[in-house]
Amino acid sequence: MLVVSRAMVAAVAMLALAGCGRSITSTPGDAPNLEKWVNDVRARPAPPLEPLPVMQQFETFEYSAQGLRDPFSDAWAVSDAGGLRPDPNRRKETLEQYPLDSLDMVGTIGSGAGLVALVMAPDKVTYRVRVGAYVGQSDGRITGISQDRIELVELVPDGAGGWLERPAAIALNEQ
């Protein structure tokens, strides 16, 4: 079986080589036709080239801001030593862990100067607060309590390294 397959492979290889030999061989009359064709192709004019693009003239710019402040450093921020700022040493109160809009005023106790507000936090616990207490996450200090609202002032950053007071209120939640 092995002898037959080797013989078949050899026969196929010889036929393939014989077929290639016919295409490679040429008649003496083919060479002048090939040379004529090459000469004709060389004689043709070359296609025109596309014109070069017009280069834009750019205006030169000289950077002369070496003496100005660095826009990426905080050195330019002027800190106002006597201005408003949160007290970092003050002990935080319980209601300062919640955002102001999550707190609900649910009532008051007392009257006059002894008026105490009742505030319900998101954990559903009701806390008593007085004027001067702190609530909310922006250092909100209660400035006044009335029967229907709690008025306070928050300290918010002004974007330039300082702080601004912003008035806010919590209205009575009437259900």
Q: Residue 59 and residue 120: Cα distance in Å, rounded?
A: 66
In this structure, of 81-90, 141-150, 165-174, the range with the lowest mean pLDDT score is 81-90
Q: How confident is the model at residue 79 (pLDDT cuts 50, 70, 90)?
A: low
Q: Residue 15 and residue 9: Cα distance in Å, rounded?
A: 10
Q: Which residue has the higher pLDDT, 162 or 175?
A: 162
- Would the pLDDT of 99 be above 90? yes
3-state secondary structure of 86: coil
Q: Hey, what domains does the chain have and what are their CATH numbers? A: 94-171 (2.30.30.830)
Whose structure tokens read 């909310």? 136
Which tens digit of pLDDT belongs to each residue from 20-45?
A: 554 444 555 667 889 899 999 999 99
Which tens digit of pLDDT belongs to each residue from 56-78?
A: 888 888 878 777 877 776 654 55
Question: Residues with Cβ < 8 Å from 116, sequence gap 6 or more?
Answer: 108, 109, 110, 128, 129, 130, 145
Determine the residue type at 36.
K
Please name which of 174, 167, 171 lies closest in space to residue 148, comparing C-alpha atoms.
171
Question: Residues with Cβ < 8 Å from 151, sequence gap 6 or more?
Answer: 142, 143, 144, 145, 167, 168, 169
